[in-house]
């Protein structure tokens, strides 16, 4: 293969990879665990990765993630949980980093609180919790 064709082939492969990565909005599947609750399963995850910014006296976006009531209430812009429908819940798209606007990805990276991106298993638990009634 001549160098020009090789360069074009490499460029095409890189572009294809970049477009595939950019278009990946696949959510991790919901966990198969039953009986998922905020208190038992999600509070530890949210306390470690969300409550430093979304808790206390001045939570960002007026969202309290340190209480079940706060999460169900949502933000100053509206609800973040669609009970029974995790795939269309704002919180799932935010923590799975599939929200259309990267500014809506939570937690943002990097961040001053040291919060880490949720794993696929953690996102799966959030999905299961919502699909099971968000209790």
The answer to whether 130 and 85 have CB atoms below 8 angstroms apart is yes
What is the reported pLDDT for 2? 53
Question: Confidence band (pLDDT; 50, 70, 90) for 25?
Answer: low
Phi, psi of 105 (to 5 degrees): -75, 130
Distance of alpha carbon 37 from alpha carbon 29, whole angstroms: 17
pLDDT at 76: 87
In a domain, 54, yes or no: yes
> For the ranges 20-29, 33-42, 89-98, which has the lowest average pLDDT?
20-29
Q: How far is CA 65 from CA 53, 61, 78, 109, in A?
A: 9, 11, 14, 18
Which residue, chain included where needed, has tokens 């950019």? 22
> pLDDT tens digits, residue range 75-96?
989 999 999 999 999 999 999 9
> Which pLDDT band, with edges at 50, 70 and 90, does 8 fall under?
very low
- Please report, rounded to a whole number, the percentage of residues in the chain having pLDDT higher than 90: 75
- Please indicate, yes or no, if residue 22 is contained in any of the structural domains: no
Q: Is residue 86 part of a domain?
A: yes
- Number of domain units in the chain: 1
Owning domain of residue 94: 30-131
What's the pTM value of the predicted model, to 2 decimals? 0.79
- SS3 call for 55: coil
| Cβ-proximal residues to 37 (8 Å cutoff; 6+ apart), any chain | 129, 135
Q: Does residue 16 lie within any of the structural domains? A: no
Q: Please indicate, yes or no, if residue 2 is contained in any of the structural domains.
A: no
């Amino acid at each position: 293969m001549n160098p020009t064709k090789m360069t074009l082939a490499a460029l095409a492969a890189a572009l294809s990879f970049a477009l595939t990565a950019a278009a990946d909005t696949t959510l991790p599947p919901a966990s198969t665990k039953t009986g998922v609750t905020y208190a038992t399963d999600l509070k530890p995850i949210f306390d470690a990765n969300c409550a430093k910014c979304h808790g206390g006296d001045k939570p960002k976006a007026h969202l309290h993630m340190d209480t079940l009531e706060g999460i169900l209430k949502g933000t100053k812009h509206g609800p973040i949980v669609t009970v029974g429908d995790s795939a269309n819940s704002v919180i799932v798209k935010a923590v799975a980093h599939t929200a259309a606007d990267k500014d809506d990805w939570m937690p943002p990276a990097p961040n001053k609180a040291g919060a880490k991106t949720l794993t696929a298993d953690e996102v799966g638990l959030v999905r299961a919790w919502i699909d099971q009634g968000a209790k």
